[in-house]
């Protein structure tokens, strides 16, 4: 007992000594690090969600907000790299181009296409319309300026913060296995990879999470970024609330975890599997836990009927800032995407909705049809629960890796970037006889299986005849479809071509052909930015090829333990990348591998060039510039015409209140509704549409939960499509950690008059008791 106590006392001191030693030895290679984060939540109404390409999946509220999270690492007098992670389905070429233009205007040549990576987490629950190529904006009725602006503005703000925060610090890397957050959704394609290759791996998906921990010299830990492969499809193709899906949720949870880790007990709570403590426990109400007194207090507050306001921003912002020590940098944690191409978070498997039996293994069909085959998440049938669970599993692993990270990154900051035309790339591949052969990639095309979708969202991008009703954008362009020529058919074989997107140029390019490839280096960590969704085996091959170049050729710099991570869906988007063998099977991922069977070999060839240049210190050919198609974009989404309320009712008036003298228990559902207006009038950036307040003292209300909290849902609805009337329904599932006290729920909105002026309003429910 005594012995154990003594060793427990000694352990931290030993660790400290080691770390101190490490620092002293390596103090010459200290970095400057800076992190930033900003709200990128786009329009929460009327806009099609990006990902499933389901025309019926239109945003109508917020589950929690979307953010851009950025880190910069710089050598004090040398190179720097900037990485931005977006709670968005994917990066967009146009967004990247416009962000780079703003960075040039602001910082000159500090941040360029070469050293900036902008990556998406692949949530399928964010507003679309921000990509420039036609095929990605068909279901959003073309380009949506508001979605695009929310991203460009928010990314820029996150970078400004990171830049302004640059201070001396160190970076640690840690890696570990997370077993239960992803399964292969196309195992029949994976099985077509050679048995000898498959036998090198224990699983048919990658289980590694790689985490970077950022430690400020003065403040200690200031953030972490990690990469782990699993799709952002815990939320289904019928969800209409904006959500960061499982990765956005994990990021929200980890930042909250850090902010509340004042007592030191939180880390162990999380790893024990207990519910994550929520912020309200930090705000101790002055009122006593006396039910009768609480009821009397509550009874003295009527609902606050709608009134105009200009103060909503400062009120909402207090929720988060109340939790932080104001004098230290805010903690930022990002959960980034990697080679998730064939990885589903719906880990229970895929089942037929009619029979409840597993779907056909090779085709993911039920009685020959794909529409009924759905993957099940661990919270099935509740997709919010699935999102929370897959998010928490990633959180727990990240907290564990964060807490134990001890390998410090040292050495050069460096990068290489090149644009490559993937529509006509000559690729040298080795033949079985040990020789080489030159093969070609082809102009982009999508196969038939693409229209079938996946078990995460059957029938995605369904272009079949008869599915174009009411989609004006599709009607506009469908007559321009192209018949693929013989050469293209042969090049893409065995893919049967459904849409020859690479050769469709009207009204403007349907698919990208010029793609960015990029390597970012922080000492022994290298990040490979890829503009698509690599499958598990495709990612392994790419990482291995780069690793071989970096560690062979007599390079002592990298030694044997170089960490190679793939940043998926980065800088632009070009759908999937499978192996040659998986391509032959033509599942959804193969059908969506745009540039033919040798697409992956093309990537490997180009990344080897970048890696070789990194080793030798040489520059690479910058390649052809991708087009900027902003001026050509067509937008058919109608703007908000006007908002109105019935006579005798004001915006913000309560239309569904809590019962008089209501008392709720924890885990109860408190639902209230307000007369509202279209959320597109003001995105409430860094603010909120919904707020739960607790009474402090006799008449002062303290914000406790906002629309970025998992427990609070803001649901917006109109009685009919063209109606000027609308409602905001706010649902609060009272967390187990909520303090007893008197509460009320508020709504904030902005209404548009017929002449176009925008007026902000607010309203509140009656007070109620949580006991």
Ligand X SMILES: *[C@@H]1O[C@H](CO)[C@@H](O)[C@H](O)[C@H]1NC(C)=O
Q: Determine if 264 is a binding residue for ligand X (CB under 6 A).
A: yes
- Of 582, 590, 596, residue with least CA distance to 423: 596
Q: Determine if 295 is a binding residue for ligand X (CB under 6 A).
A: yes
Q: How far is the CB of 262 from ligand X (least distance, A)?
A: 7
Q: Determine if 661 is a binding residue for ligand X (CB under 6 A).
A: yes
- Of 568, 603, 538, 600, residue with least CA distance to 189: 538
Calculate the CA dihedral of residues 583, 588, 592, 597 and round it to 10 degrees: 0
Is 100 or 267 the residue whose CB approaches ligand X more closely? Answer: 267
Q: How many residues does the chain have?
A: 771
- Contact (CB, 8 A) for 276 and 642: no
Q: Determine if 293 is a binding residue for ligand X (CB under 6 A).
A: no
Q: Which of 160, 283, 299, 372 binds ligand X (CB under 6 A)?
A: 299
Among the listed ranges 67-75, 198-206, 289-297, 303-311, the one in contact with ligand X (CB under 6 A) is 289-297
What is the contact mask toward ligand X in residues 345 to 384, using x (rule: CB under 6 A)?
----------------xx----------------------
Residues 6+ apart with CB under 8 A from 255: 330, 331, 332, 333
> CA 391 to CA 250: how far, in whole Å?
4
User: Which one of 92, 240, 243, 344 is the catalytic residue?
Assistant: 344
Q: How far is the CB of 385 from ligand X (least distance, A)?
A: 10
Q: Which of 365, 493, 671, 737 binds ligand X (CB under 6 A)?
A: 671
The tokens for 605 are 């060839």
> CA 630 to CA 133: how far, in whole Å?
10
Start-to-end CA distance of the chain, whole Å, equals: 43
> CA 334 to CA 87: how far, in whole Å?
9
Binding site, residues?
Answer: 122, 231, 533, 576
Backbone angles phi and psi of 692, in degrees to 5: -105, 130
Q: Which of 731, 739, 740, 759 binds ligand X (CB under 6 A)?
A: 731
Is 268 or 506 the residue whose CB approaches ligand X more closely? Answer: 268
Among the listed ranges 258-266, 305-313, 507-515, 518-526, the one in contact with ligand X (CB under 6 A) is 258-266
Q: Determine if 261 is a binding residue for ligand X (CB under 6 A).
A: yes
- Of 119, 76, 80, residue with least CA distance to 96: 119
Is 358 or 756 the residue whose CB approaches ligand X more closely? Answer: 358
Q: How far is the CB of 403 from ligand X (least distance, A)?
A: 7
Q: How far is the CB of 375 from ligand X (least distance, A)?
A: 17
Task: Give, as ranges, the residues between 177 and 236 that touch ligand X (CB under 6 A).
Answer: 188, 221
Instruction: Tell me whether residue 104 is exposed, middle or buried, using C-beta atoms within 10 angstroms of its C-beta: 0 to 12, 13 to 18, 19 or more.
Output: middle
Collapsing DSSP to helix, strand or coil, 365 comes out as coil
| Residue sitting closest to ligand X (CB) | 264
Is 153 or 657 the residue whose CB approaches ligand X more closely? Answer: 657
Among the listed ranges 196-204, 288-296, 571-579, 619-627, the one in contact with ligand X (CB under 6 A) is 288-296
Q: How far is the CB of 41 from ligand X (least distance, A)?
A: 20
Q: Determine if 329 is a binding residue for ligand X (CB under 6 A).
A: no
Question: What Cα–Cα distance (Å) separates residue 201 from each residue in 195, 227, 526, 536, 537?
Answer: 10, 19, 22, 11, 10
Is 265 or 311 the residue whose CB approaches ligand X more closely? Answer: 265
Backbone angles phi and psi of 476, in degrees to 5: -60, -40
Among the listed ranges 257-265, 406-414, 515-523, 556-564, the one in contact with ligand X (CB under 6 A) is 257-265
**Secondary structure of 300-358 in HEC code, one letter for each residue:** CCCCEEEEECCCHHHHHHHHHHCCCCCCCCCCEEEEECCCCCCEECCCCEEEECCCCCE
Is 261 or 282 the residue whose CB approaches ligand X more closely? Answer: 261
Is 569 or 673 the residue whose CB approaches ligand X more closely? Answer: 673
Among the listed ranges 103-111, 134-142, 234-242, 290-298, the one in contact with ligand X (CB under 6 A) is 290-298
Q: How far is the CB of 274 from ligand X (least distance, A)?
A: 15
Q: Which of 478, 660, 666, 736 binds ligand X (CB under 6 A)?
A: 660
Binding site for Zn(2+), residues?
Answer: 122, 231, 533, 576
DSSP structural state of residue 561: -
> CA 142 to CA 55: how far, in whole Å?
12
- Of 771, 749, 753, residue with least CA distance to 761: 749
Q: How far is the CB of 258 from ligand X (least distance, A)?
A: 5
344 classed as catalytic: yes
Q: Determine if 724 is a binding residue for ligand X (CB under 6 A).
A: no
Residues near ligand X (CB under 6 A), total: 19
Q: How far is the CB of 44 from ligand X (least distance, A)?
A: 17
Q: Determine if 663 is a binding residue for ligand X (CB under 6 A).
A: no
Q: How far is the CB of 326 from ligand X (least distance, A)?
A: 17
- Contact (CB, 8 A) for 316 and 703: yes
The tokens for 167 are 């201070």
Interior CA angle at 335 toward 64 and 316, to 5°? 30
Residues 6+ apart with CB under 8 A from 728: 673, 674, 676, 689, 690, 714, 715, 716, 747, 749
Task: Give, as ranges, the residues between 420 and 479 that touch ligand X (CB under 6 A).
Answer: 426
Residues at the interface with ligand X (CB under 6 A): 188, 221, 258, 261, 264, 267, 292, 295-296, 299, 361-362, 426, 660-661, 669, 671, 731, 733
Q: Which residues are catalytic?
A: 344
């Amino acid at each position: 007992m005594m012995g154990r106590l003594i060793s427990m006392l000694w352990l931290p001191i030993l660790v400290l000594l080691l770390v101190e030693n490490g620092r002293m030895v390596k103090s010459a290679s200290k970095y400057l690090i800076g992190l930033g984060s900003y709200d990128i939540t786009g329009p929460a109404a009327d806009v099609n969600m990006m990902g499933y390409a389901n025309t019926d999946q239109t945003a109508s509220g917020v589950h929690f907000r979307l953010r851009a999270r950025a880190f910069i690492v710089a050598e004090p007098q040398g190179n720097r790299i900037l990485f931005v992670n977006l709670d968005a389905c994917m990066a967009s070429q146009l967004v990247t181009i416009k962000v780079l233009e703003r960075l040039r205007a602001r910082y000159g040549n500090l941040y360029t296409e070469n050293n900036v990576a902008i990556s998406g987490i692949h949530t399928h629950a964010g507003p679309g319309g921000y990509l420039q190529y036609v095929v990605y904006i068909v279901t959003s009725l073309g380009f949506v300026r508001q979605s695009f602006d929310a991203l460009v503005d928010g990314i820029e703000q996150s970078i400004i913060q990171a830049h302004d925060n640059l201070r001396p610090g160190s970076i640690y890397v840690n890696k570990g296995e997370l077993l239960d957050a992803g399964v292969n959704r196309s195992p029949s394609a994976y099985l077509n990879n050679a048995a000898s290759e498959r036998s090198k791996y224990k699983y048919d998906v990658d289980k590694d999470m790689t985490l970077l921990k950022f430690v400020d010299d003065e403040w200690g830990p200031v953030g972490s970024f990690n990469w782990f492969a699993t799709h952002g499809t815990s939320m289904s193709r019928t969800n209409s609330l904006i959500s960061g899906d499982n990765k956005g949720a994990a990021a929200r949870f980890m930042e909250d975890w850090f902010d509340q880790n004042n007592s030191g007990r939180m880390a162990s709570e999380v790893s024990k599997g207990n519910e994550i403590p929520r912020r309200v426990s930090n705000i101790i109400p002055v009122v006593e836990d006396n039910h009768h007194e609480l009821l009397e207090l509550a009874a003295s507050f009527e609902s606050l009927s709608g009134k105009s306001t200009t103060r909503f921003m400062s009120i909402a912002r207090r929720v988060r800032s109340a939790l932080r020590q104001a004098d230290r940098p805010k903690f930022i944690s990002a959960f980034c995407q990697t080679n998730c191409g064939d990885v589903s978070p719906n880990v229970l498997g895929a089942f037929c909705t009619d029979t409840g039996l597993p779907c056909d293994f090779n085709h993911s069909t039920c009685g020959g049809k794909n529409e009924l085959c759905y993957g099940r998440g661990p919270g099935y049938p509740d997709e919010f629960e699935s999102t929370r669970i897959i998010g928490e599993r990633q959180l727990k692993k990240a907290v564990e890796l964060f807490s134990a990270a001890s390998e410090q990154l040292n050495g050069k900051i460096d990068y290489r970037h090149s644009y490559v035309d993937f529509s006509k790339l000559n690729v040298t591949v080795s033949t079985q006889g040990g020789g080489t052969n030159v093969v070609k990639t082809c102009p982009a095309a999508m196969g038939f299986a693409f229209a079938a979708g996946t078990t995460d969202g059957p029938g995605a991008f369904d272009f079949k005849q008869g599915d174009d009703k009411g989609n004006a954008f599709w009607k506009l362009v469908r007559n321009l479809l192209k018949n693929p020529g013989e050469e293209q058919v042969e090049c893409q074989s065995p893919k049967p071509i459904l849409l020859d997107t690479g050769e469709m140029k009207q009204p403007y390019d349907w698919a990208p052909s010029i793609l960015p490839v990029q390597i970012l280096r922080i000492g022994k960590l290298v990040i490979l930015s890829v503009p698509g969704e690599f499958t598990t085996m495709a990612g392994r091959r790419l990482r291995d090829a780069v690793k071989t170049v970096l560690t062979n050729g007599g390079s002592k710099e990298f030694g044997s333990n170089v960490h190679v991570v793939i940043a998926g869906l980065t800088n632009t988007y070009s759908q999937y990348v499978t192996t040659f063998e998986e391509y032959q099977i033509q599942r959804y991922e193969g059908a969506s591998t745009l540039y033919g069977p040798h697409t992956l070999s093309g990537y490997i060839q180009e990344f080897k060039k970048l890696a070789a240049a990194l080793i030798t210190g040489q520059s690479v050919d910058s390649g052809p510039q991708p087009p900027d198609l902003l001026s050509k974009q067509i937008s058919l989404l109608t703007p908000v015409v006007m908002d109105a309320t019935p006579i005798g009712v004001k915006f913000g008036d309560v239309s569904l209140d809590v019962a008089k003298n209501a008392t709720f228990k924890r885990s109860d559902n408190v639902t209230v509704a307000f007369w509202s207006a279209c959320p597109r009038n003001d995105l409430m950036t860094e603010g909120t549409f919904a707020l739960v307040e607790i009474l402090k003292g006799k008449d002062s209300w303290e914000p406790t939960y906002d629309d970025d909290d998992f427990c609070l849902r803001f649901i917006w609805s109109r009685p009919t499509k063209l109606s000027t009337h609308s409602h905001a329904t706010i649902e609060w599932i009272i967390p187990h950690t909520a303090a007893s006290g008197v509460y009320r729920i508020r709504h904030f909105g902005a209404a548009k008059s017929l002449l176009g002026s925008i007026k902000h309003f607010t309203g509140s429910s009656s007070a109620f008791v949580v006991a």
